[in-house]
Chain A
Amino acid sequence: MSEVLAAARKRDLSSAIAEAHVIVCTGSGGVGKTTTAAALALGAAHAGRRTIVLTIDPARRLAQSLGLRALDHIPRPVKGVEGLDAMMLDMKHTFDEVIDRHAEDARRARRIKSNRFYQQLSGSLAGTQEYMAMEKLYDLHMGGAYDCIVIDTPPTRNALDFLDAPKRLTDFLEGRFLKMFLNPGLKAGRTIGRAVSFGTGVFMRAASKITGAGVLEDLGDFFHSFEGMYEGFKDRAQAVYKLLSSPGSAFVVVATPEPPALREARYFLRRLEQDGMPTAGLVVNRVTLPPPPSLKGLSARKAGAAIAALADGGPEQRAAGELLSLHLDRVDVARRERQAVTKGLHGIDPQVLVDVPRLAGDVHDLEGLEAVGAYLYRTT
């Protein structure tokens, strides 16, 4: 299988940044998704495309370098880069917009937004963050102001949640529980069957015991006020799914050369394939590069003898010896990481595999993003 990976390593993401209308960066937490997204967006902008990078939770200094000072939900031009905007997702704000769009009138929208359950749930409803990211993405797509939209997915506990979000929300909205909730007063023999109705009554009593009186009424009121909006939600979720699975989209999976991150990457690549989602490739961040050609001939045996000889000398000799052992360690680490990637991706063809070396420090300015970009799309 390493021939497949070797072939994938020869390719890069330049066609994605030149052609894709939507680029989704995904992967487990802490692997550098935001940095990758920002570097790809920078590349697309350099290619002359009107580009926006939508980010969920960027590190503060990276956000600053993109000109984002606050979670203000407005696309901001990135200083110093022609054609590049950046914006940070504000969950609450996006959910409010969704309500405003789907509610039949302003009064109903206000009623929903002031419900205490809405205030709690808008931040915590299963998959809300993922769903809202999708909402905003679709919004930007429909707005038509951008050729290329790069989005960084939320740090979900499981990267797969992201693809499931629209479906989970619609499943929930169609769910048995909600139906019961919306029709608790229905008499047996009417729309729903006798047994279910009986169950509902018991459920409501049992649930009231758990939560206390009044709470269920509030919750019921909340869901009632959503009535008539479910269709809109569902249509929208389907439209987003369609957009993501269209050939104009490109998923970039991000990982590090460590088994847990590779495991997630593997699942995600598999899942994308199963769902027929357009995959652009895999980015492996923080890779230890093999030694440059100039040091290829330096064998462990020769270096080992020299290290022993240099250990007894002065500071310069000792430093020189340490340099050799640092080199040997690097060779070893590079080999091990390579193996971890090969093992982790066994049986998978990511099409494109880009190794981004571990840089001296964190990326928090345009210069750093350019440096990352040079690996992603090998600008010459």
Chain B
Amino acid sequence: MDVASLLDRRLLLVTGKGGVGKSSVAAAVAVASARSGRRTCLVEVEGRHTFSQLFGTQAWDFSEWEFRPGLFGLSIDPEASLREYLDMFYGARHLSRVVVRSTAVEFATAAAPGIKDVLLIGKVKEMERRRDDDGHFHYDLIVVDAPPTGRIVNFLRAPDATTELVNLGPIRTQAQTLIDMLMDAERTNVVLVTLLEEMPVTETLEGAHALRDMGVALGPVVVNRVMPERFDDDERKAITADLDPAGLQAMLADAGVRVSPAGADDLLTLAAGHLGREELQRTSRELLERRLGLPLLELPELYTDDFAEREVGLLADAVTDAVTPDEVS
């Protein structure tokens, strides 16, 4: 598994702790994939209208649409998914279709969320297996903004739990084909998104462990919002050991900037805080590398006013760079 093959799977499930930018990363990976010429579908499963806001488009719904060239979007609503499923199996043959549908929908969404997840993954599998008339797969890559790490294991385990609970019938048959898709490392990878901070790293390590236990293949770990290192070793040493407020004040005065002793002191305090964060980044990165044995794909902190399509594009640039082998010139 290397970073360069990230986009060569059929299905990427992007997950991460709340607040790490999982949806933005999913969007960036999908954009990078579409730019590489792959017909790509970006899927939202929790109906939060994240992507329509991010890309500034009309609201997404339960029909795939090409919102950018080669890039399709879909918001899976489990209830719509269930209706489609019931139609598929029972069609319009029953007079009481309306009754069947509404009660069954109520049943599945309120009483047995595991079944809801199965239907949701089922929709993804249908897209993953769909072929055009020429026999080629309809989509080259499907990128799912999956539930967060706290829920991802239960989400992916839903087909399995269903086979335990439901002993026969189409749901059981379908559940098995979903398990086959999810467990196939060539088809499906889970992409964990993290920050180089303590809690997200801990949750990533725990999530990776649980996912590996259930036999799901992990893709590269995406490290979001990486601060560029500002100080080289010599400068770091100068700040931590050599510079005192008076010295700094004098040096700045030579360069034409007057600061008070308190100002010089505050600058050094600021630097100490910043160096602390850089140090935390380094130790977090080491910890991830040592404990996971997975390649890391780092995306930069953007320092922009907003976060919209342009910023997704900037992250997509970084993804493209990472998956493109270095040209030998």
Contact = CB atoms under 8 A, between A and B. Distances in A.
Interface of A: 28-31, 57, 59-61, 116-117, 120-121, 124-126, 155, 157-158, 172, 175-177, 180, 196, 198-200, 202-203, 206-215, 219, 256, 258-261, 291-292, 294-295, 298, 302-303, 305-306, 309-310, 315-327, 329-330, 332-333, 336, 339-340, 360-362, 364
A30 B48 CA distance: 17
Given A298-B257, A309-B255, A202 B94 contact: yes
B100 A320 contact: no
B19 A256 contact: yes
B169 A210 contact: yes
A294 B242 contact: no
Given A29-B19, A126-B109, A206-B94, A306 B154 contact: no
B310 interface: no
Contact of A323 (B96, B171, B271): B271
A306 B257 CA distance: 7
Contact of B276 (A208, A258, A361): A361
A317 B250 CA distance: 11
Contact of B256 (A158, A309, A333, A360): A309
B52 interface: no
Contact of B198 (A175, A180, A199, A362): A362
A148 to B, nearest CB: 26
A202 B96 contact: yes
A229 B94 CA distance: 35
B65 interface: no
Contact of A295 (B199, B235, B267): B267
Contacts of A256: 19
A218 to B, nearest CB: 9
B326 interface: no
Contacts of B247: 316
B273 A323 contact: no
B270 A207 contact: no
A209 B19 contact: no
B234 interface: yes
Specify which of A31, A124, A214 lies most central, judged by the most chain B CB atoms within 10 Å of its CB: A124
B257 A327 contact: no
B170 A322 contact: no
A210 B170 contact: yes
Given A213-B168, A309-B256, 17 more contacts: A30-B200, A124-B112, A126-B113, A155-B148, A155-B150, A196-B99, A210-B166, A211-B169, A212-B169, A214-B167, A292-B266, A294-B262, A302-B257, A306-B255, A309-B255, A316-B238, A361-B198
Contact of B20 (A30, A120, A215, A340): A30
Given A155-B148, A326-B271, A361-B276, A207 B18 contact: no
Interface in B284-329: 303, 305-307
Interface of B: 17-20, 23, 46, 48, 50, 86, 89-90, 94, 96, 99-100, 102-104, 106-107, 109-114, 147-148, 150-151, 154, 161, 165-172, 197-200, 202, 230-231, 234-239, 242-243, 247-248, 251-252, 255-257, 259-260, 262-263, 265-268, 270-271, 273-274, 276-277, 280, 303, 305-307
Contacts of B170: 209-210
A263 to B, nearest CB: 8
B256 A305 contact: yes
Contact of A116 (B17, B151, B165, B259): B165
Contacts of A315: 234-235, 237-238, 242
A221 to B, nearest CB: 14
B111 A177 contact: yes
B46 A199 contact: no
Contact of B202 (A59, A294, A360): A59
B112 A121 contact: yes
Nearest to A212: B168
30 contacts: A29-B19, A30-B17, A59-B199, A121-B112, A155-B18, A155-B148, A157-B151, A175-B110, A198-B96, A202-B96, A202-B99, A206-B90, A206-B100, A212-B168, A212-B172, A214-B167, A256-B19, A258-B307, A260-B50, A291-B266, A292-B266, A315-B235, A316-B238, A316-B242, A319-B243, A320-B248, A324-B257, A339-B305, A362-B199, A364-B198
